[in-house]
Amino acid sequence: MKNDRLLRALLREPVDRTPIWLMRQAGRYLPEYRQTRARAGSFLDLCRNPALCVEVTLQPIARFGLDAAILFSDILTVPDAMGLGLYFAEGEGPKFERPLREEWEIRNLAVPDPEVELRYVLDAVREIKAALANEIPLIGFSGSPWTLACYMVEGGASSDYHTIKKMLYARPELLHRILVVNAEAVTQYLNAQIAAGADAVMLFDSWGGVLSERAFAEFSLAYLERICAGLTRTARGRRVPVIVFVKGGGLWLERIAACGADAVGLDWTIEIGRARQLVGDRVALQGNMDPAVLLATPEAVRREARAILAAYGEGTGHVFNLGHGISQHTPPEHVAVLVETVQQESAQYHPTASP
């Protein structure tokens, strides 16, 4: 691979500079993405069209020269493949026609075959991998079992998660049934992405931080550990790194670092230097600039990027990223400033490495 900095950094191997990619790097802040999405007709139609997925996946790579591409898809493709009826309401985000509320529905929940129900995603992985022509790595991804369950039970996004939390405390065995199925589905799905060409995979536990510490350990972390233990870790002659990202999980960083992943993604609520002190050399760290910085000025973007690089300090094991996805209101030129700053100024933190 011409540029494998991301893979080496995730495995704590030497790199000549800090690699950078961005969560939600292909998205509505890019005018070219908005044009492609308009041609597709809807977000779901875009996700289900492998050729258009290739197009939007490559757009930020062509514009910014990032160190990795990430599959363009959605975390909710898995529960959609389980028959819950995913749709997107204008101005309201994702919703399910058939959320899991009845015990019989939960008992009947089944793991989808990724090569059948999710074939369109795997076709996109294969086509993106071919289009990248071994220039940079491709990251595959999935939502975590807990985060998927939140949408599956609530029926969409939630401000208080009262329906699933009621189930958690009143009928924990039902929630565990959902999580067992989700964990097996996610494991099979990510392994299928790896087989199709993904060079690294990432688990997004976007709503792990809404749980208490005990509940997080039982209803989220245990299933992240199960998935990490079941993933294919070598493909095409090299290690396939696994990244786990728990939004709001800074208080549990040491426990997350022990889940079996190669790298832990950080949101912006924990200082990356302190995070490095806590985890030592157990895992690489990915992050962690507040996405809102990109809404400010180019000077603010440069200042914050430099501060994060300095806080991590010398040595490998850092992948520069945001603490969550890019806002749709982000000026693309501010992203260019961020990428340029990291690529030009991070070499000083890797004095012993060669390109």
What span, in angstroms and rounded, lies between the C-alpha atoms of 191 and 198? 9
> What's the sign of the alpha-carbon dihedral 76, 81, 84, 90?
positive
Known catalytic residues are 24, 28, 37, 74, 151
Question: How far, in whole angstroms, is CA 261 from its chain's centroid?
Answer: 13
- Beta bridge mates, 94: 88
Pairing of strands 238-239, 234-235: antiparallel
Tokens 């757009």: give the residue. Answer: 59
DSSP H stretches of helix in the chain = 5-10, 31-40, 43-47, 50-64, 77-79, 103-107, 119-132, 145-154, 162-170, 172-196, 213-216, 222-230, 253-257, 272-279, 298-312, 332-345
Q: How far apart are CA 246 and CA 209, in angstroms?
A: 7
Answer for the pair 154, 99: CB distance below 8 angstroms, yes or no. yes
Length of the chain equals 355
Q: Nearest Cα to 149, choosing from 136, 163, 160, 130?
A: 163
59: its two tokens: 């757009």
